[in-house]
Chains A and B, each alone.
Chain A
Amino acid sequence: MSSSESQQPVAPPVDGAGAASEGAAAAPVTPPWASGPEKPSLAYRFTSSPLVLSVAALIAALVVGGLLIVFTDQRVLTRMNYFFNRPSDTFEAAWKAASSAYVALFEGAIFDPHGEDWTQRIYPLTETLTIATPLIFAGLGVAISFRSGLFNIGAQGQIILGAIVAGYIGFSWHLPVAIHLILVIVGGMLGGAVWGGLVGLLKAKTGAHEVILCIMLNYVALNLVLYVLTTPGFQREGSTNPISPQIDRSAQLPRLFGDSFRLHWGFVLAILAVLLVSWMINRSTVGFRLRAVGSNPEASKTAGINVTAGYIVVMVMAGGLSGMAGVSQISGTEKVLTGDVAASFGFDAITVALLGRSKPWGTFWAGLLYGAFRAGGVAMQTNTGTNINIVLVVQSLIVLFIAAPPLVRAIFRLPDPSKTGRDKKARKASAPKAGAAQ
């Protein structure tokens, strides 16, 4: 036992997270690891802010997307044939193709100046908000499960289950106004919560992986809704079409601005949900547990937090939120149950949550952005003849650029705030300089 000869009570340095600590000498008053530039210049603070980064990502995506639009536009291609005779023709057509496509996107998503009255002009914005509503709900559900370390990709199934329950209560029970709507909401949330909770329960009790459980339960839900729509209880009287009766008026979420707009109170509920989830994650004991389990299950366990119970709780909550997405579809937008009631909201919700960095308000804005693309994409196609696939490509590019900050930083040569002073990362920060020295 050689350590018995050691002279000092100096323990072996097992210094896991301390890798970043070496450069950070223990100066007593002003700890250096907090450094960064002493007083960051205004330009630095501006260029390193996340907002600038997002705008830069948007610009990068619009440019690349614009190029795609240009090179798939028939008029541009025709003019390219005589590019060397009159290049201005090509550029003119290219500019026209790209700008008109983007103008159409904007007009379809936010504000249409060609509208005859105010209602028509503002209509696109309300459409954006309508489409964003289920995305925000489901995105929040996905976000909270991400925060607790679960890769919940089962929002699609949870939305469908929420929609089935909400729809059934909506068209087959006939109740007074307020009670009916409340029951629809509660039922829809429960449907989603059960579907999500099932994943949490199975993971907690058997250790099965949540990704597989989610994928399979998505299939089950999808085929379940297709099946129930073939049963008489869900079909319209005298019809065999896979479409349910319309839900009672008493079960519908009231429209927010009258019947000229589809926008309904679900959007307000979605904002409330953002506030609630934001409080839950950051300021409640439940959220503390959930985040602790998400970032270090071992330490959480040692601190007496029941990790497996946490999985169930978070999946129930996530399922409930996704169930609300189903409710807003059934009770607010569609008013009937079809096999396509969830569209691809459950999958888009994953992107929305990722884009929003799993933060409640981030998810909210990401949901709005996605809603805008959805609404504007239709206009882009109908008004300018841009291929719908190109529309989707442009959407995906924007998401891609936003999701890959280092790429955007590299393109626009923006500084990375997380790479100053932290020696662990300074290595990368010094790389460009080193490259230039070569």
Chain B
Amino acid sequence: MKLELRSVTKRFGAFTANDSVDLVVEPGTVHCLLGENGAGKSTLMNVIYGLYEPTEGHILLDGQEKRFAGPGEAMRAGIGMVHQHFMLVPVFTVAENVALGAESTRGTSLDLEQTRRRIREISDRYGFRVDPDAVVEDLPVGVQQRVEIIKALVRDAEILILDEPTAVLTPGETDELLAIMAQLRDDGKSLLFISHKLREVCAVSDEITVIRRGKVVGTVAPTAATTELASMMVGHDVNLTVDKEAPQYGDNTFSVRDLSLVSDTGVTVLDGIDLDVRGGEIVAIAGVQGNGQTEFTETVMGLHPKATGRIVLDGEDLLGMTTKKIIDSGVGFVPEDRTVDGLVGAFSIEENLVLNQFDTKQFSAGPSLRRGAIRSNARKKAAAFDIRMNSVSDHVATLSGGNQQKVVVARELSRPLKLLVASQPTRGVDVGSIEFIHERIVAERDAGTPVVIVSTELDEVYALADRIAVFHHGRLMGIVGPDVPREMLGQMMAGATAEELQANAPQPAVQNTTEGEPA
């Protein structure tokens, strides 16, 4: 089925989210919609899926104009959507979830047999390996996503919209998904794929449409250079590497000795971690998600009081201190998940900017908040960190992801720090903001602060690190230089120690294979 958008415009009040967008998805192709956070991708998808009515313009299916009053009609017309956040009932089985909304019944009882059969059919055909009777909450995220795809296919979708489908997947699952997408395309389905991860976009798409501020910037072939795509997205040439000088070490140190943590369920999540970070250098912790990095940063922040070992910052043992004391002693922390740990969504931007400093002398007098100081602080930070907003008194939840992250970073970086711990500092952040946040982190390091970065993105690790520490199953596999080859890093992330790898490789890895090129 061919999907065609002709000058589709969607306005919300005075704001134009989509400005006369033209888009053609040919049958049997994967068409990627590429754009920054807030560029209007999701709005456009919701217009196609019937969640929004376009203000102007037409949607054509196989040359026929269509108007959808809701997702139900879009579904009947053959459009299926896989949302970024799954629309599944966790306690239902796969079959029940798939049947939901279109249950076939026998008398008053539910007839799931037919649904089961369809699921098996589709599952076999595309190699989904999904058991119709498995309970959804027990399934890994990647499989849950396949259930979403099955849901669309069972309803005979010819056009599949995938909204940032890889955001929640591990690298392995991403590759599987890309393979499934290719298979669906070969089967004649049309796929509209939304992403801002350039690698996968180039890997799977037949055509790429770049959208910026609601307008189509251009449609390019996947052979285009990624730097070109990135600059199309953000509208200027992006500096994909971070310019930084060699580290100027200070005397101050952050050192971790024999740090261990056993979780409440008895699992050892940190196992004898030893790590030293000197003032003026960035140590990046690399590793696959869930190998103890999160717990490491949380332990440093005093959020796991049961941890054992020593965490010494400038001669002071942080372990055993309350989070409050640790923050007050000059530790800046950018948590991994800003919406859960970093921000209070219902609070205003100005309040979030003082979330861990509201009771300092600067922002309070006795029991009373100094609202004037809080407001002027917010204005200054918003300007310095380029937080794009309407008013500092708006709820922080109204900001785009990148701007929310800038609020967290602004809060943590704008006071004198003795240590900066930043976990996934640029997750879910658009390219322009990534560049900005990276520059800020490097500036903090150049000011002589020891910096610990946790990232699952190797590009980020290479871009920032002066040294790289690799975690695997709660253990430190070794600390290597920033010029270590990606393959070696990959092996360490899979559980090999640095010593083993060096012993196996007779010549030291002097050849700088990665750092010179635009990583």
The reply to whether B13 and A36 form a contact with Cβ atoms under 8 Å apart is yes
Judge whether A9 is part of the interface by a CB distance below 8 angstroms.
Answer: yes
When distances are taken between beta carbons in the complex, the residues of chain B under 8 Å from A26 are 36-39, 213, 388, 400, 402-403, 430
The reply to whether B167 and A14 form a contact with Cβ atoms under 8 Å apart is yes
B37-56 contact mask (Cβ, 8 Å, vs A): 1 or 0: 11111110010000111000
Segment at the interface with B among A82-90, A110-118, A303-311:
A303-311
Q: Contacts A21-B38, A22-B37, A26-B36: A3 and B400 contacting too (C-beta < 8 A)?
A: no
Judge whether B145 is part of the interface by a CB distance below 8 angstroms.
Answer: no
User: Which of the residues A12, A24, A295, A301 comes within 8 Å of B346, measured between beta carbons?
Assistant: A295
Complex CA–CA separation, A306 to B322 (angstroms): 9
Complex CA–CA separation, A15 to B42 (angstroms): 12
The reply to whether A3 and B355 form a contact with Cβ atoms under 8 Å apart is no
When distances are taken between beta carbons in the complex, the residues of chain B under 8 Å from A19 are 42, 84-85
Complex CA–CA separation, A303 to B322 (angstroms): 11
Q: Contacts A8-B198, A9-B463, A304-B356: A18 and B168 contacting too (C-beta < 8 A)?
A: no
- Which of A10-31 touch B at CB < 8 Å? 10-28, 30-31
Q: Contacts A23-B12, A303-B356: A11 and B427 contacting too (C-beta < 8 A)?
A: yes
Segment at the interface with A among B121-129, B181-189, B271-279, B362-370:
B362-370
Judge whether A284 is part of the interface by a CB distance below 8 angstroms.
Answer: yes
Q: Contacts A38-B14, A427-B51: A302 and B301 contacting too (C-beta < 8 A)?
A: yes
The reply to whether A15 and B167 form a contact with Cβ atoms under 8 Å apart is yes
User: Which of the residues A17, A36, A306 comes within 8 Å of B324, measured between beta carbons?
Assistant: A306
Q: Contacts A10-B198, A285-B369, A296-B343: A304 and B327 contacting too (C-beta < 8 A)?
A: yes
When distances are taken between beta carbons in the complex, the residues of chain A under 8 Å from B459 are 6-10
Complex CA–CA separation, A51 to B340 (angstroms): 34
- Nearest B residue to A29 by beta-carbon distance? B388
When distances are taken between beta carbons in the complex, the residues of chain B under 8 Å from A433 are 53
Judge whether B303 is part of the interface by a CB distance below 8 angstroms.
Answer: yes
The reply to whether A16 and B46 form a contact with Cβ atoms under 8 Å apart is no
Segment at the interface with B among A122-130, A202-210, A332-340, A418-426:
A418-426
Q: How far is the CB of B165 from chain A (nearest CB, A)?
A: 11
The reply to whether A6 and B197 form a contact with Cβ atoms under 8 Å apart is yes
The reply to whether A426 and B12 form a contact with Cβ atoms under 8 Å apart is yes
Complex CA–CA separation, A279 to B371 (angstroms): 12
Judge whether A79 is part of the interface by a CB distance below 8 angstroms.
Answer: no
Greatest chain B CB density within 10 A among A8, A13, A422 is at: A8
When distances are taken between beta carbons in the complex, the residues of chain A under 8 Å from B364 are 285
Q: Contacts A8-B240, A15-B167, A292-B347: A35 and B323 contacting too (C-beta < 8 A)?
A: no
B391-430 contact mask (Cβ, 8 Å, vs A): 1 or 0: 1001001111111100000000000000000001011111
The reply to whether A299 and B175 form a contact with Cβ atoms under 8 Å apart is no
User: Which of the residues A12, A23, A302, A434 comes within 8 Å of B166, measured between beta carbons?
Assistant: A12
When distances are taken between beta carbons in the complex, the residues of chain A under 8 Å from B70 are 431, 434
Please give the number of chain A residues whose Cβ is less than 8 angstroms from any Cβ of chain B in the complex: 70
Greatest chain A CB density within 10 A among B175, B341, B389, B494 is at: B341
The reply to whether A3 and B347 form a contact with Cβ atoms under 8 Å apart is no
Complex CA–CA separation, A427 to B390 (angstroms): 23
Q: Contacts A3-B458, A37-B14, A430-B53: A435 and B69 contacting too (C-beta < 8 A)?
A: yes
Q: Contacts A292-B344, A430-B52: A11 and B490 contacting too (C-beta < 8 A)?
A: no
Judge whether A286 is part of the interface by a CB distance below 8 angstroms.
Answer: yes
Judge whether B489 is part of the interface by a CB distance below 8 angstroms.
Answer: yes
The reply to whether B12 and A21 form a contact with Cβ atoms under 8 Å apart is no
The reply to whether A15 and B401 form a contact with Cβ atoms under 8 Å apart is yes
- Nearest A residue to B85 by beta-carbon distance? A19
Complex CA–CA separation, A172 to B342 (angstroms): 54
User: Which of the residues A6, A21, A30, A305 comes within 8 Å of B458, measured between beta carbons?
Assistant: A6
Please give the number of chain B residues whose Cβ is less than 8 angstroms from any Cβ of chain A in the complex: 114
The reply to whether A423 and B339 form a contact with Cβ atoms under 8 Å apart is no
The reply to whether B427 and A12 form a contact with Cβ atoms under 8 Å apart is yes
The reply to whether A3 and B333 form a contact with Cβ atoms under 8 Å apart is no
Judge whether A239 is part of the interface by a CB distance below 8 angstroms.
Answer: no
- Which of B289-341 touch A at CB < 8 Å? 301, 303, 322-328, 333, 335, 337-341
When distances are taken between beta carbons in the complex, the residues of chain A under 8 Å from B14 are 32, 35-38, 421
The reply to whether B69 and A434 form a contact with Cβ atoms under 8 Å apart is yes
- Nearest B residue to A5 by beta-carbon distance? B199
Greatest chain B CB density within 10 A among A23, A283, A305, A427 is at: A23
Judge whether B345 is part of the interface by a CB distance below 8 angstroms.
Answer: yes
When distances are taken between beta carbons in the complex, the residues of chain A under 8 Å from B429 are 11
The reply to whether B335 and A302 form a contact with Cβ atoms under 8 Å apart is yes
Q: Contacts A6-B199, A35-B15: A285 and B324 contacting too (C-beta < 8 A)?
A: no
When distances are taken between beta carbons in the complex, the residues of chain A under 8 Å from B110 are none
Q: Contacts A9-B519, A304-B322: A4 and B490 contacting too (C-beta < 8 A)?
A: yes
Q: How far is the CB of A16 from chain B (nearest CB, A)?
A: 4
Judge whether A1 is part of the interface by a CB distance below 8 angstroms.
Answer: yes
B1-43 contact mask (Cβ, 8 Å, vs A): 1 or 0: 0000000001011111100000000000000000011111111
- Nearest A residue to B195 by beta-carbon distance? A13
When distances are taken between beta carbons in the complex, the residues of chain A under 8 Å from B218 are none
- Which of A31-47 touch B at CB < 8 Å? 31-38
When distances are taken between beta carbons in the complex, the residues of chain A under 8 Å from B79 are none
The reply to whether B431 and A16 form a contact with Cβ atoms under 8 Å apart is no
10 closest A-B pairs by beta carbon, nearest first, are: A34-B390, A22-B42, A32-B15, A21-B400, A304-B324, A18-B401, A16-B339, A9-B459, A303-B356, A35-B15
Chain A residues within CB distance 8 Å of chain B = 1-28, 30-38, 279, 283-288, 291-292, 295-296, 298-306, 420-423, 426-427, 430-431, 433-435, 437-438
7 contacts between A and B (CB under 8 A): A7-B518, A9-B460, A10-B457, A32-B17, A285-B358, A292-B347, A296-B345
